[in-house]
Structure 1
Amino acid sequence: MTAGISEITTVPRRKRASRGGGGTLGLALVAPAFGLMILLVLLPASRSLLGTIFPDQAGEPSLKNYEAFFSDARSASNLLFTVQVSVITLAILLTIGLIIALYLRFSQSRFIGAIQIIALFPLFVPGIVISFALIRFIGPTGLLPTTLRALGISGYRTPYLHPSGAIIGLVWENIPLTIMLLTAGLAQISNSSIEAARDVGAGWLRILSQIILPQIIRSIVVAASLNFLGIFGSFTVPYILGPAAPQMMSIFMQNTFSERHDSGVAETQAAVTFLVCLVIGVIYTLCVFRDTARDGKARQ
């Protein structure tokens, strides 16, 4: 009897010991990558950020760089333009991505494989190739306006070198990531819950709003956060397809550094961009870690 009790009481200790060993091994495996991230990303970013706050040799903090940035009409216009393009592109991405992901998840059509290949095809095409392909399609002498003129349809205005051109290119470039993230979230929804809702007379709109969407909120937040960060810092597609003015912040920074040779102003522009992305990164991190902690408590 005593041996049995001692054997039972030693089991949790063994589990705790194994968990501790696994945690140490995990930290050891993560440490090199984390250290490299600190060395190559966090330290240079912190140094640049501190350089914008302590611009003088005296070492006194000052926000004059940021005051100059927001008081400059061109800088404020470029920041607002970047936010607008990112938000509009993100809204279109989530709408199109959710429609395609729902179709791939719940449709029984034999064309699912072909649609999935087409939707994921931009993932394997560089952004510069996508940009020039879109110029040949939607440009002033591209396939689309040529076809419209042949059909007798006039009044076509090309989105090339306009904000809409950059948005079209960014949607095309980021649609595969959106679909993959949303499809992964939809894969966690059981068919039994959908069938049970249908049995009680629920239509697709009610199933979507009360069953599907609440269960993929995390996937939507992750897709929105990652896409926003990628779009906000994009360079190639807006540079080729977008307007000359206003500009995306990445293009604005590159021009300030390479053409004006003003590293201090470019550093402030980079810091503003970093702070905007930091807000989105915090939202993404809080969402992911909150759900991870909740899943961990549920398993315990």
Structure 2
Amino acid sequence: MKALIVGSNGQLGRGLIGSAPADVEIVGHDIDTLDVTDRAAVDAIIAVEQPNLVFNAAAYTAVDKAESDQQLAEAVNATAVGLLANAARRQGASFVHVSTDFIFDGLSGLPYAPDASPNPLSVYGQTKLAGERAAGDDALIVRTAWVYAPQGDNFVRTMLRLMAERPEVRVVADQVGTPTYAPDLARVLWQLAEQRQRGVFHYTDAGAASWYDFAVAIQEEALAAGLLQAAVPIIPIPTTAYPTPARRPSYSVLDKEATWAALGRVAPHWRQNLRVMLQHLQAAG
């Protein structure tokens, strides 16, 4: 089998490459080799590579910047998804697309099921929802949240840097969701794809946390791993004290029960995967 991974240099793309089954031939493309908004370029890549499976791990993820850059966000998160999905469909390839918890408004107070009604609050969320619809009913769509990995720009790495540089850090405490370790998400995408699943699935680590809870855990685990030399005060603040261009859902925990049933296992708790990530950083020096 041959798999094309679009967005191969990102956190999730690297995870997909690293966890690929041994019998799968991998072809990776990122922004430097494929403009996903260019129909001719997308069609040409699919025609040349002739994959059996296409993973779309590419996305415009600058949530706040998207508010003033809506055209590019729509092109990458919506239009490009349709181009990739249609090209894969013509090739007879399965299509796997990754979406986000930000398609919900956060007003539920209960974990969002895959069939819950979306109501995105931001341009980013709106374009990701449009991307889901562009993927088509025959695609596998997996919504996730708060993704991080040992490499790339993410909350964990940012907190480690700030905790080493500043006398204190201030973190929003009234937005609740679930962190997701990218390598684990990648393994799940492979498993669902191998099962030939279709439709919408939810996957994150287990549990829930505020950004403040996550930051506290990062410091505690990083101190234990020797990645930080000293603790600094972590100050919980409300969203109103940290205004941003884009509105974010206050509660965006996803209901993963159907996904766990398909996998035959429950996801690791987010703190367990955080520890795995920090141990990886420690080993890498």
Q: For the superposition of Structure 1 and Structure 2, which TM-score range results when normalised by the shorter chain?
A: under 0.3
> When the two structures are superposed, what TM-score results if normalisation uses the length of structure 2?
0.22
Structure richer in helix, relative to its length: 1
The higher radius of gyration belongs to 1
